[in-house]
């Protein structure tokens, strides 16, 4: 009578297979959270860029004479727009060598949606969006004023490239005295250490738009 062959896996082979499977599984589980975080960061950055572009587009459509007159009264300091109260606030504005008490924005509702937008049911505020109006002749002093403001609003952020970007934006590149330089900084994750998005543009006189 012949004996049947009972070939199978030994205990060591089973344990080895389980160990290899566990290592592969743990590796896969480690990849998924990183991929999710990477995707989420990209989505947040995309939203920030779109908000900054929207703010730039909105500001470029505003009255040049009003904004220029407002900047002239600041004595070479940057104009900082980062609160919805600015939408209805009255400022001293220099027009035709006279100073008037005027509002910068004619539409308070539209201004409020730019400075405090709601995206995906999340309301962002003055900690997330800052708009800087630069005088026509600006340099290191104005850059430091912008950086001090950003650091006061975002004390946890490590600013490494924003200051370099501001420094690289030489006012002489405009080649146009009838324009104001504008910077929009958007940071939707104000509690982390990562920088937000800084976009730049210009507000030109209506005659040359």
DSSP assigned state of 53: H
Could you list the pLDDT tens digit for every one of the 209 residues in the chain?
455 555 556 767 667 777 777 777 766 666 666 766 767 777 888 999 999 999 999 999 999 999 999 999 998 899 999 889 999 999 999 888 899 999 999 899 999 999 999 988 889 888 899 999 998 778 889 999 999 999 999 999 988 899 899 988 866 544 445 678 899 999 998 788 889 999 999 888 766 65
CB 192 within 8 A of CB 51: no
For residues 206 and 174, give the distance between their C-alpha atoms in angstroms, rounded to a whole number.
16
- Which tokens is 207 given? 């005659």
Distant-in-sequence, close-in-space partners of 132: CB < 8 Å, separation ≥ 6: 78, 79, 80, 81, 146, 149, 182, 183, 184, 185
């Amino acid at each position: 009578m012949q004996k049947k062959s009972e070939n199978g896996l030994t205990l060591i082979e089973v344990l080895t297979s389980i160990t290899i499977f566990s290592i592969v599984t743990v590796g896969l589980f480690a990849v998924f959270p990183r991929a999710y975080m990477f995707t989420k960061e990209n989505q947040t950055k995309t939203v920030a860029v779109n908000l900054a572009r929207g703010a730039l587009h909105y500001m470029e459509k505003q009255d040049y004479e009003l904004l220029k007159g407002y900047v002239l009264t600041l004595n070479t300091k940057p104009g900082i727009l980062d609160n919805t109260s600015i939408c209805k606030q009255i400022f001293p504005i220099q027009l035709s060598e006279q100073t008037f008490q005027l509002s910068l924005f004619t539409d308070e509702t539209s201004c409020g949606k730019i400075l405090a937008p709601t995206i995906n049911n999340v309301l962002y505020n003055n900690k997330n969006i800052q708009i800087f109006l630069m005088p026509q002749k600006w340099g290191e002093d104005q850059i430091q004023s912008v950086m001090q403001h950003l650091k006061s609003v975002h004390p946890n952020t490590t600013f490494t490239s924003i200051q370099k970007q501001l420094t690289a934006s030489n006012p002489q590149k405009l080649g146009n005295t009838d324009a104001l330089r504008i910077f929009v900084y958007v940071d939707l994750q104000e509690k982390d250490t990562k920088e937000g998005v800084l976009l730049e543009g210009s507000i030109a006189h209506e005659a040359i738009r």
